[in-house]
Structure 1
Amino acid sequence: MGCFSLYVMTDNQAGRPVDAVSRRKFIAAAGGAGAVALAGCTEETGEGNGNGDGNGSGNGNGQSSLSGDIQIAGSSTVFPLMSAVAEDFQRDHSEVNIDISSTGSGGGFENHFCPGNTDFNNASRAIKEEEEQMCADSGVEWIELIAATDALTVVINNDNDWATEMTVEEIAQIWESDAAETWSDVNSDWPDEEIERYGADDTSGTYDYFIENIMGEDRGHTDDYQATEQDNTIAQGVQGSEYAIGYFGFAYYYQNSDQLTAVAIDDGNGPVEPSLETASAGEYTPLSRSLYTYPSVSSLGEEHVAEFARYFVEQTTNRELVADDVGYVPLTDEQQSEQMSKLEDAIEEAQG
């Protein structure tokens, strides 16, 4: 028999066990807390046939030979996917302790990964030149692994029946530095009511991506909004007001689809709703994007970190986990093969 516990934590709160929770409920709870530590215990009876993970790290009786700590920080968008993969990995490797923090892509690079304090940094956009330099200055080498495809989603309150379809320009007017104050400022047919905004903090890769693909750098991003790294806080804020609007990764809409309305985006060819299908087909523009994780090459020199990285890449084509449980588009077999080849080269470099 085996046992497995999840501890969802915030920075100022002791961990509390979450018993008998479904995967989707766990993802929602973890996303609201912003950090998760996974710890498990396993006790097998009988002869057993190995640990079943196919990577040769078992000892033949159902026990894993891997042990050690893995520290992960970065993107709140990648957080639910990384948490779900780590949860599954933990079942076969109970002596590997995995701590995952939702710090934002930029916050993770600057405060955790590039200083050498974490083994992975999750990111909802590619690493920036200044972050590459920061890592180089600290002697931190990394590789870039694509984790999934996201449909970054703009959400409104379910009672909002006027803005279910919006052009990119209308969204830009709501979120630019000199932002519209009322809905009627954007469209005269819309209510003369103040816009309430909930969005990503400026340490977030989602914040950067939204500026680049909706407003443009010249128009910037308004400061008149509730900024947070906890995407469930955005969901709750939009749920609480008819005149609210927010944006975050599709997984958080996927977990709250009954409580929120996703805006169909018109990029010039008619409105397209965010979905796994439209993101995969390249129809949901300009807010379809790749999600990443960045392992430290030196960390890959440790076998438990290398095995977890391999497991993560293996799971990127797992539709049940990536799409059905979390809400992102899985990689194709070809994409996964490319990522695994890149990873194996880095592991060989680190352990050679």
Structure 2
Amino acid sequence: MVVAKNKFSLKRASIAGAVAFTAATLGLAVSEVHSQGNLVSIDGSSTVYPIQEGVAEEFQKNSPYNVVVGVSGSGGGFEKFCRGETDISNASRPIKDSEAERCANNGIEFVELEVAFDGITVVVNPDNNWVDAMTVDQLQTIWEPNAQGSVTRWSDVNSSWPNDEMSLYGPGSDSGTFDYFTEVIVGEEGASRGDYTASEDDNVLVTGVERDRNALGYFGYAYYVENQDTLKAVGIDNGDGPVKPSQQTIESGNYAPLSRPLFVYVKKSAMEKPEVETYVEYMLSADTITPIVNEIGYVPLTRRGYLNQKAKVR
């Protein structure tokens, strides 16, 4: 296991590998544990994953209950959630109407909870000395579907930039970050060029940009914070000059249009189980979640904000 940089540090090893490791340490008896009624099952967004991981680690220190947190992207998490396979689904975007309908068809009622705020961060390699900021129009030029095969070099975006081929990294189509980014940057959710390295594991994207001078990628702010010594954040110009992501600019909304809320969806029937009820109450305690969110690098809700979220599940 990779040594963490701080108490709630993101694991530099593959998240998928970390989840597999966690499942292995629980042994092959996960189904047995679940049948005994003391397992909280969570899946979904890789962006929300570090928050949930931090909460789960603290919760299990003084609890008889076990928590398993998986990562399959917001869309993949909702697929499992709406099939009734998980108690809680992490999401970096609101649930879609089609997903809510699928849940309803399967008799699954849920509560939507906000747990933090994020700013999708556009990053380049630190050896990139020609890009400090980009306009929303330039990002659209790079990522829109018809850019595939036609916008392949930095000079295709700005003639003063090098005539070197770009390497692009971004979330896969099951990711809520992908959905949100394409909607606010390209103008249509899910509309994107396909010739880029895609992964639901943000650490794969981080590593790709770190290793390539001509790389550009995007992912949740916490993954930039964890790796800011080896990545460079790009300021985003939405018409009022470039703004770089920070807890202050995300909280104020000045980091536009890439600031967004992060969500957790809880199955109502699961709240009848003491392990899930206890976990959700613990997760929504400001004293529990605020230091975790702060240390990871996202922006927490106010104390009143978490009380309002807690009221939704009571």
Q: Tell me the TM-score normalised to structure 1 length.
A: 0.81
1:275 paired with 2:246, answer yes
Between the aligned partners of 1:317 and 1:96, the Cα distance in structure 2 is 17
Specify every segment of 5 or more residues in structure 1 that has no aligned partner in the other structure, as ranges.
1-16, 41-65, 345-352
Q: From 180, 183, 194, give the equivalent of 1:223.
A: 194
Between the aligned partners of 1:255 and 1:343, the Cα distance in structure 2 is 32
In the alignment, which residue of structure 2 is the partner of 1:33?
17
Deviation at 1:283, TM superposition (A): 0.6
Q: From 241, 251, 264, give the equivalent of 2:212.
A: 241
Report if aligned partners of 2:4, 2:10 keep a CA contact under 8 Å in 1.
no
The structure with more radius of gyration: 1
Structure 1 residue identity aligned to 2:74:
S
In the alignment, which residue of structure 1 is the partner of 2:32?
none
Between the aligned partners of 1:29 and 1:315, the Cα distance in structure 2 is 29
In the alignment, which residue of structure 1 is the partner of 2:52?
82
Between the aligned partners of 1:81 and 1:302, the Cα distance in structure 2 is 22
1:100 paired with 2:69, answer yes
Structure 2 residue identity aligned to 1:152:
I
Structure 2 residue identity aligned to 1:69:
L
Between the aligned partners of 1:137 and 1:79, the Cα distance in structure 2 is 27
The 1:219/1:302 distance shift into structure 2, 3 A limit, reads closer
Between the aligned partners of 1:269 and 1:109, the Cα distance in structure 2 is 36
1:332 paired with 2:308, answer no
Aligned length: 300
Deviation at 1:320, TM superposition (A): 2.6
Deviation at 1:32, TM superposition (A): 6.2
Larger strand share, 1 or 2: 1
In the alignment, which residue of structure 1 is the partner of 2:171?
200
Between the aligned partners of 1:219 and 1:257, the Cα distance in structure 2 is 28
Between the aligned partners of 1:97 and 1:267, the Cα distance in structure 2 is 44
| 189-198 or 211-220, larger mean C-alpha shift | 211-220
The 1:302/1:221 distance shift into structure 2, 3 A limit, reads same
In the alignment, which residue of structure 1 is the partner of 2:30?
none
Between the aligned partners of 2:52 and 2:189, the Cα distance in structure 1 is 33
Between the aligned partners of 1:196 and 1:30, the Cα distance in structure 2 is 21
Question: Taking CA–CA contacts closer than 8 Å with sequence separation of 6 or more, which of the two structures ends up with the larger relative contact order?
Answer: 2
In the alignment, which residue of structure 1 is the partner of 2:41?
71
Between the aligned partners of 2:236 and 2:196, the Cα distance in structure 1 is 21
- Alpha-carbon displacement from aligned partner over 1:263-298 (angstroms, at most 9, x marks no partner): 100000000000111000111000000000001111
Report if aligned partners of 2:253, 2:259 keep a CA contact under 8 Å in 1.
yes
Correspondences of 1:1-352 after superposition (within 5 Å): 22-25=6-9, 27-29=11-13, 31=15, 33=17, 35=19, 37=22, 68-93=38-63, 95-110=64-79, 112-179=80-147, 180-217=151-188, 220-315=191-286, 318-323=289-294, 325-344=295-314
Deviation at 1:334, TM superposition (A): 2.2
Report if aligned partners of 1:177, 1:219 keep a CA contact under 8 Å in 2.
no
Report if aligned partners of 2:44, 2:91 keep a CA contact under 8 Å in 1.
yes
- Alpha-carbon displacement from aligned partner over 1:228-287 (angstroms, at most 9, x marks no partner): 000000000001111101100001001101010001000000000001110001110000
Deviation at 1:70, TM superposition (A): 1.0
Structure 2 residue identity aligned to 1:142:
F
The 1:329/1:220 distance shift into structure 2, 3 A limit, reads same
| 19-28 or 152-161, larger mean C-alpha shift | 19-28
Larger helix share, 1 or 2: 2
The 1:34/1:163 distance shift into structure 2, 3 A limit, reads farther
Between the aligned partners of 1:288 and 1:108, the Cα distance in structure 2 is 22
Deviation at 1:317, TM superposition (A): 7.3
Specify every segment of 5 or more residues in structure 2 that has no aligned partner in the other structure, as ranges.
27-35
Between the aligned partners of 1:278 and 1:219, the Cα distance in structure 2 is 26
